[in-house]
Amino acid sequence: MANPALLHHNKTQFAKSIVELCPGVYTAVGYAASTQHMIEGASSITIIDTSESTAAAENVLAEFRKITRKPVARIIYTHSHRDHISGATVFCEGGELPIIASAAFSSDLIGKDDSTIAPGQALNRRTQAQFGIGLSPQQRVSLGCGPSDRPMKGMGAGHIPPNQLIENDCEMDLDGVRAQLIMAPGETADHMVVWLPDQKVLIPGDNWYHAFPNLYAIRGTPYRDFAAWADSLLLLAELGAEVLAPGHTLPVFGADRVNEVLTTTRAAIVHVMQHTADGMNAGLSMDDIAAGIELPAAIADKPWLGEFYGKASWSARGFATGTLGWYDGNPTHLGTLSSGARASHMARLAGGTDALQKAADNTDDLQWRLELCDHLIALGESAELLKAATLEALADDEINATARNTYLWEAERLKQQVADA
């Protein structure tokens, strides 16, 4: 089972299509986790973003080639995320091309030192969980930002480092099409959006997509600057675009609608910041801040703010840790109880591990059941299968694709653990 709203989002936003934004400008949707764009000039084309795999890039290029045979003159990266830069070799078609990106461009695929101490294995595991790598098609019904079903061949294989770095906002002639490259930090600090002022087409990268913004990605990300993202959305709204072609999900048409999606998404980010700051100022616990967050009525029902990808409660936690760090102001949390010690105390309080087990079996509160399972597992009791079943039950209702995938991926891992024991 899967949440019907999540299924609907996947079906409507990620159906394969080449969308004409205006004469000569096209977006490929549904061929990869991200979208790719083609701008046709007098005798050449410009490609914006290149997908996450060479296989997806080949499929997209084949579609673009049905429209024009003009050679690719340049590639522009909106930002450094893997799902936008990893099909570049395909679009170069054997040649060398200008690859244009913000001077702030920074990718872990390029030029990173392996000797840096970092939790790489944890990131890898959590990334697989978030995207449901290895789950069945019935389990992985969406990526939240892209179609559940996409080619995996050549994943991450076709990236090319940018060779033309842009320091400041500038105008660029794309073979007869006037473009402005605008620095707009948001989902990443190195976002550079492409604005075609004559066609009023805006390509904002991942600073907007049809889902609640992923202000904190559960695979593990450093702090994403909420205030900068909100500011950039205002700047983008003020351009007066008539077409918005995001880095994920379908394009949006019509000046009023484009303005509405950008300004309401900005309002959602500002609301998370305000709610969290107010809660922290009032001395609330992080759990209470996260549990109490609700979007204001004026924007709560906007379909593009559905929590298919990002989630408001995670964002609140992200803002709190991104601004004041992990300490929440409650001195209880300055000390540390190990999981085992806490579990022992809980078992004693409950009247023994059997009572704890019974409580886990009998509660209808699935979140509480998970917490009881963790205590039992910390005590060496076998609660792995109960935890797996609870994760699967949560996944059935979950509207957020990354949460659903993670629940199911971790449930599979627990069941495997028990089978292997």
Q: What share of the chain is helix, strand, coil (3-state, %, to 5)?
A: 45, 15, 40
Question: Which part of the chain contacts Zn ion (CB under 5 A), choosing from 81-89, 111-119, 129-137, 287-295?
Answer: 81-89
- String of contacts with Zn ion for each residue 270-309, x by CB under 5 A: ----------------------------------------
CB of 52 to Zn ion, least distance (A): 9
Q: Which is nearer to Zn ion, 83 or 190 (CB)?
A: 83
Q: Which residue has tokens 């604005």?
A: 195
Q: How many CB atoms lie within 10 A of CB 92?
A: 17
Question: Which part of the chain contacts Zn ion (CB under 5 A), choosing from 98-106, 118-126, 240-248, 359-367?
Answer: 240-248
Helical ranges in 68-162 per DSSP H: 82-85, 88-92, 120-130
Helical ranges in 113-218 per DSSP H: 120-130
CB of 32 to Zn ion, least distance (A): 10
Q: Which is nearer to Zn ion, 154 or 247 (CB)?
A: 247
- String of contacts with Zn ion for each residue 157-196, x by CB under 5 A: ----------------------------------------
DSSP string, 12-31: HHSS-EEEEEETTEEEEESS
Q: Which residue has tokens 């019907």?
A: 4
Tokens of 119: 């939790």
Q: Which is nearer to Zn ion, 38 or 286 (CB)?
A: 38
Q: Which is nearer to Zn ion, 140 or 369 (CB)?
A: 140
CB of 414 to Zn ion, least distance (A): 30
Q: How many CA atoms lie within 13 A of 328 on its CB side?
A: 19
Establish if 83 lies at the interface with Zn ion (CB under 5 A). Answer: yes
Q: Which residue has tokens 């900068």?
A: 228
Site for Zn ion in 242-271 (CB under 5 A): 247
Closest CA to 280 of 309, 308, 320, 246: 320
Q: How many CA atoms lie within 13 A of 151 on its CB side?
A: 18
* Sheet bearing 192-196, strands edge to edge: 170-174, 177-183, 192-196, 201-203, 243-244, 252-253
The residue with its CB nearest to Zn ion is: 206
Cα gap 99→110, rounded to integer Å: 14
In angstroms, what is the C-alpha Rg of the chain?
23
Q: Which is nearer to Zn ion, 9 or 369 (CB)?
A: 9
Question: Which part of the chain contacts Zn ion (CB under 5 A), choosing from 80-88, 127-135, 175-183, 335-343?
Answer: 80-88
CB of 375 to Zn ion, least distance (A): 38
Q: Which is nearer to Zn ion, 251 or 279 (CB)?
A: 251
Report whether 199 contacts 25 (CB < 8 A): yes
CB of 273 to Zn ion, least distance (A): 22
CB of 245 to Zn ion, least distance (A): 13
Establish if 206 lies at the interface with Zn ion (CB under 5 A). Answer: yes
Q: Which is nearer to Zn ion, 204 or 247 (CB)?
A: 247
DSSP assignment letter at 333: G
Cα gap 264→63, rounded to integer Å: 34
CB of 247 to Zn ion, least distance (A): 5
CB of 363 to Zn ion, least distance (A): 38
CB of 59 to Zn ion, least distance (A): 18
Q: Which residues would be at the binding site for Zn ion (CB under 5 A)? A: 34, 81, 83, 206, 247
